[in-house]
Amino acid sequence: MTEFMEVVCKDGVMTFDGRVIELFGFGRQDFSVRLHVARLEQLQVNPGGRFSSPSVTFKARGMKIEGMAVFTEEEAASPGVAALIAAVQAAAPGLDG
């Protein structure tokens, strides 16, 4: 099992305990988003560009709300963000991309 991981960013916090991804903040003022890796269908990493910031989006089966974290350039390049995303990818059995 993956050890507890936490990435504190300018706009929010991402955590992963080996089974559940949780996103606090990132534009959602009133609630956090929790996703279990067994329900995860898609993980999309956006490197950012001229008009967008780097981000990661988690989509789970049966959930109307997706989890999304937006990063600064420095945060996106950090080993902590990369390690958390890699851990989620390794733990999720049904990922499409």
Domain ranges within the chain, ordered by starting residue? 5-91
| 3-state class (DSSP) for residue 27 | coil
pLDDT of residue 97: 52
Token pair recorded at residue 24 = 């606090």
Mean pLDDT to the nearest integer, 85-96 = 88
For the chain, helix, strand, coil in percent to 5 are 20, 40, 35
What is the tens place of the pLDDT at every residue in 28-81?
Answer: 777 889 999 999 999 999 999 889 999 999 999 988 888 999 999 999 999 999
Q: Going by CATH, does the domain composed of 5-91 fall within 2.30.29.30?
A: yes
pLDDT tens-digit series, residues 10-32: 999 999 999 999 999 988 777 88
CA dist 46 → 20, 22, 30, 43 (Å)? 21, 19, 25, 10
Residues 6+ apart with CB under 8 A from 2: 16, 17, 18, 87, 90, 91
Average pLDDT score over residue span 86-94: 91
Band (pLDDT 50/70/90 cuts) for residue 96 is low
